[in-house]
Amino acid sequence: MGKKDIIIDGENLTIEQVVSVARGGAKIKLSRDAEQKVLRGREVVRKAIDQKRVVYGITTGFGAFSDVFISEKKARLLQKNILMSHATGVGKPLEEEIVRAIMLIRINTLAKGHSGIRLKTIQTLVKMLNQGIHPVVPEKGSVGASGDLAPLAHLSLVIIGKGNAIYKGLKMTGKGAMSRGKVATLELEEGEGLALINGTQVMTGIGALTVYDSINLVKTADIAAGMSLEVLMGSNIELDQKIQKVRPHRGQTISAGNLRRITRNSGIISSHKDCSRVQDAYTLRCTPQVHGASGDALDYVKGIIDVEMNSATDNPLIFPEYDQILSGGNFHGQPVALALDFLAIALSEMANISERRTERLVNPQLSGLPAFLVKEGGLNSGFMIAQYTAAALVSENKVLSHPASVDSIPTSANKEDHVSMGTISARKCREVLFNAENVLSIELLCAAQALDLLTNLKQGKGTMEAYRTIRRNIPHLKKDRIIHKDIERMYELVHHQEILFSVEKRVGRLR
C-alpha cells in the first residue's frame, strides 16, 4: 500500500487492506462521501430525539430493557453506562493486530452512515487507529448476537477515557493512552454507545486475518506435498490435467496445477517412471482432491468475510433517504459463525493429510529411508517425536472443529433467545490455523531432511527453491538437537510466507 492513506468509504474494504492496516501500520482516512453519509444519518437521530420518538437504544434501554423510556436528560448517561455495564470480557487480551483489524472494520461499518453516530466520534476512532492506541480487549465474553457486545464495549471505553490500552508497547489507562497519543476523549451523545458496540466486527476481524493466512497456507500445503511426493517416490500421473478435467472442481484443478508447476522438471519423479508400483497411497494420489476441497471451502468463507466487512450490522439502522429508523437483526453473526466453522474443518483436513505424509516420511517401511530420517538410529531419535507433535496437533484440531455455531443459549431474559457463537467460531478457527501451520512446518522439515538422505537427482523447480530456503535457515540434522527450535523457525518461514514467496519467485504465482 505504500505511504498513501487507505480511503474508507464503508463499501470497498478488502482483506488485503485489513492486513496492511493491522500488520503493516498503514494509515486510514474517511472519504468525503462517507463523512456526508454519517452526517445525514446523525440528522435523522437528532430529529427523532427532538420529536421525543420512542427509538430502541436511543430513547430506550437495551435488550430486555427496550420498553424502558429514557429521558433526554439521562440519555447521555445511558451511553456511558452501556459501555461500562457491557464491558464484561474475560481471558487473555486479543493480539494488537486483531484489535487493529476490529477497529478498522468497525470504522468501515460506521462509515456507511446507518448507525446514527456523530462524525466526530468516528474521527476519534480513526485517530486512535492511526496513532497506535490499541484498547485492551479480553478475548472471551461474546455470544455473537446483538453483536460482539462485550469485546466492543472494552474497545469503546477508551474513547471516553476509561478502560485500558496499549500505547507504544506499554499498557496504561485508556485516558493515559489517549493523552499520550494526543487524541481527545469524548462524551458520547444519544445512541452512540449502542452504535459503537452493536456489530460483528470482532468475529469478522479475527476471520479476515485468518482467511488471509489460510489463503497463503493452502498454497504452502501444495509446496509441502510436492516435496513429499518427490522423496516418497510418488508419481505425477495423478496430476494429469485429463483427470482433473473430468471432475472439474475448481480447487482440485488449482491444486493439481500448482503441484505440476512445483515439481516440474523433477529428475526424482521421472527416475522411477516405469517402476513396479501401480498406485500411490491416498495421501499422495489424492492431494489435489483434499487440498482442493479445502481451497473451495476457503473461497466460500472469503466471500462471506468480504460481504460482512462492508455491511451495516447495527441495530437500529438509520435510513436517511427514507427518514426512517428501523430495528432488525443484522448484528446476528450466523453467516460468519457458519463460515468460520467450515474453515476450521477445511484447515483441519489439510493438516490431517499433511501429518499422514509426515508419517510416511519418518516410517522406514513406507519411505525406504533411514528410520525417522536420521543416521545412527537408536543413538539418535531424529524426527520421531516431531511426528508425535504433528499427531497431537491434528487430534486437537478434531476437537476444535466441532462447530460452535450449532450451539445457542438464551440471553437478556430470553429476549435474545438465539445466538450465533460466531466469535467462538472465529477464535477456535484461528487456533486450528496455528496448529495447521505447525503441522505443515513439520512436514516441510521432514521433506527437506529426506531430500538430503535420498538422492543426488535433480529436484523440481519449485521443490528445489523451497528446499534451498529451508536450508538457508535450518541446517541438516546430522545428530539429535533441540528440534523445537527448528519447528519454531520453520513456522516463521511458513507464517510469514517466506517459503511461498521463494517458490513463487521461481515458478510464478501459485493460485
Give the three cell numbers for residue 429.
Answer: 478457527
| Residue 416, beta-bridge partner list | 411
Contacts of 466 (CB under 8 A, 6+ apart): 223, 226, 227, 262, 444, 448, 499, 502, 503
Contacts of 339 (CB under 8 A, 6+ apart): 207, 300, 301, 304, 305
List C-alpha distances in Å: 399 to 82, 210, 296, 344: 36, 19, 22, 10
| Residue 164, beta-bridge partner list | 173
Q: How far apart are CA 266 and CA 264, in angstroms?
A: 5
Q: How far apart are CA 174 and CA 133, in angstroms?
A: 9
Which is it for the CA torsion 238, 239, 242, 248, positive or negative? Answer: positive
Interhelix angle 32-50/119-131, nearest 10 degrees: 140
- Nearest by Cα to 59 from 44, 51, 69, 67: 69
Which is it for the CA torsion 491, 226, 344, 352, positive or negative? Answer: negative
CB half-sphere exposure, 7, CA atoms < 13 A? 8
Assess whether 56 carries a catalytic annotation: yes
> Buried b vs exposed e over 461-474: b needs ≥16 C-beta within 10 Å?
bbbbbbbebbeeeb
State the catalytic residue, choosing from 56, 167, 212, 467: 56
CB half-sphere exposure, 139, CA atoms < 13 A? 15
Active site residues: 56
